[in-house]
Amino acid sequence: MITKLRNAYYGWYILVAAVIGMAIASGVSFWVLGYYVTPLEEEFGWSRTLLQTGISVSLLVSGLASPLAGRVVDRYGPRRSIIWGTIFTCASYVLLATTSSILEWYLYFAINSFFRGFMFYIPFQVLISRWFERKRGRAVGIMAMGFSLGGFLMPLMQQIIDNVGWDVSFLFAAAILAVVFLPLGLFLVRDHPHEKGLEVDGEPAPAGSEGRRPGMFSGLTVKQAMRTWNFWVIALAFATFFFAMFGWMFNGTPVYESMGISRETISVILSLQALGGLISRPTFGLLAERIPSIELASVGLAAIMSVGMFLLLILHDSHLTLAVTLFLCCWMIGSAGGPVLEPLILPKTFGLAHFGAIMGTLFMFETIGQFLVPTVGGAIYEVTGAYDLLLVVNIGCLGLSMVFFALAHYIPNPRIPSPSLRFVRPLVASLVARTEPQHQFSNGAQVGSANGAGAAQSGGSPMESGTGQRG
């Protein structure tokens, strides 16, 4: 067993790090945002709309920072981004724990969202896409399990928020992120397979080669991608899809509370959602390697989620238990592709050379819709006294995403250029120099073939080498 672990492809260790990182980061952030609404509302007397607008602003800041985070990851590597992003994110959680006014809530949450993008999600997506190609589907599916595992932190976070204090929960988040992320970034994460003398998917590098270097990845730049129809259709597909999906992740707790479900029961329900993701997401990732079109598969996922929300909408007044059960079943299947879709669709459409920057730019456009989720949800509740209209809005967004994903399938992919010649030429010259026969003459000079790939080597001048060749 120990021998097998030692001989295992290092990419699987990277994947384990990504799963752990996704679980911890999502567990102290996305999964528990809804738990802060009631305690802060009671302690400071802020209206629900005002409170949730602060979270909306933080989401907008996160989206606007995503292109920068993507460029940093592409240029300096995921490892550095994770380390420094963790340091500043932990500091921002300490600031959040000192919140005493609505302006501080807005400012500190915005700072937290800005730096969290450098340590979480984009770096891990780039890492997995660099380390896996043929097995990328199963790899991103396994990585997405981390997002589901984060749901199991909810009962602990809920207990800390309700029984110890919301401010202590922020300090706990800072501590656990530092303890987990910094060792992963410093000692385990490596940016490219070539750092371990490997090729993508674990193939050994050819003799005398250092593997596929970062510059050898092909793909469109951000500007080139944004000039294509593909980018904008995919952006609209993800924006509408994640508006509904993220909207439920944030508003799910208040929605359940409005239906008369206790917070303890809600923790169990959300943990069941997370448990379902542990099964559905790696299963979808494995199937994705055999599915001809991920875009059409995404249409099916959106349809299943919309059916679940529709059933919850029409049944919760008369058959609450049945409505929640049916919704959970549809959610577990429909959300299976959530964190999996982007690393499956983007590299095959735009290539890997600037994957981080393209994903970050795409996030910016996705967030334009997502940052409205908390504000819209709070406003709907204050005006109507219920969240039924929010479910209708989510169903409509999922319907639009189905249309855009279908369009993305039928639009031809752009032509991806080959890697830059400034990386190819030295590689070709090096290979030619190693493979062409060398001819040695009586004066000790070595001369390659007529194409000049093998440089003349002699103790004398180049002219002397030439004289030796003529002799």
User: Has residue 449 been placed in a domain?
Assistant: no
User: Has residue 439 been placed in a domain?
Assistant: no
User: Has residue 460 been placed in a domain?
Assistant: no
Helix (H, G, I), strand (E, B) or coil at 421: helix
- Of these ranges, 35-44, 125-134, 176-185, 334-343, the one predicted with the greatest mean pLDDT is 176-185
User: Has residue 400 been placed in a domain?
Assistant: yes
pLDDT of residue 139: 92
**CATH at 134:** 1.20.1250.20
Instruction: Residue 182: give the domain boundaries.
Output: 7-194+216-410
% of the chain at pLDDT higher than 90: 47
Residue with more model confidence, 298 or 144: 298
Residue 237 pLDDT grade (very low, low, confident, very high; cuts 50, 70, 90): very high
Q: Provide the β-strand partners of residue 446.
A: 440, 457
User: Has residue 322 been placed in a domain?
Assistant: yes
Q: What is the per-residue pLDDT across 417-453, written as a single tens digit (0 to 9) for each?
A: 765 544 444 444 444 444 444 444 344 444 444 344 4
Q: Provide the β-strand partners of residue 219.
A: 351
Q: Which residues contact 313 (CB under 8 A, 6 or more apart)?
A: 388, 391, 392, 395
Calpha distance 33→449 (Å, rounded)? 67
The answer to whether residue 327 scores a pLDDT higher than 80 is yes
Helix (H, G, I), strand (E, B) or coil at 440: strand
- How many domains is the chain partitioned into structurally? 1
Q: Would you state the structure tokens that stand for residue 200, as one six-digit string? A: 């993508």
Please state the pTM of the whole predicted model.
0.73
pLDDT of residue 460: 42
Q: Which residue has the tokens 């406003």?
A: 379
pLDDT of residue 436: 44
- DSSP 8-state assignment for residue 418: P
Q: Which residues contact 392 (CB under 8 A, 6 or more apart)?
A: 313
User: Has residue 420 been placed in a domain?
Assistant: no
pLDDT of residue 335: 87
User: Has residue 1 been placed in a domain?
Assistant: no
Is 102 exposed, middle or buried (CB count within 10 Å of its CB: 0-12, 13-18, 19+)? middle
User: Has residue 148 been placed in a domain?
Assistant: yes
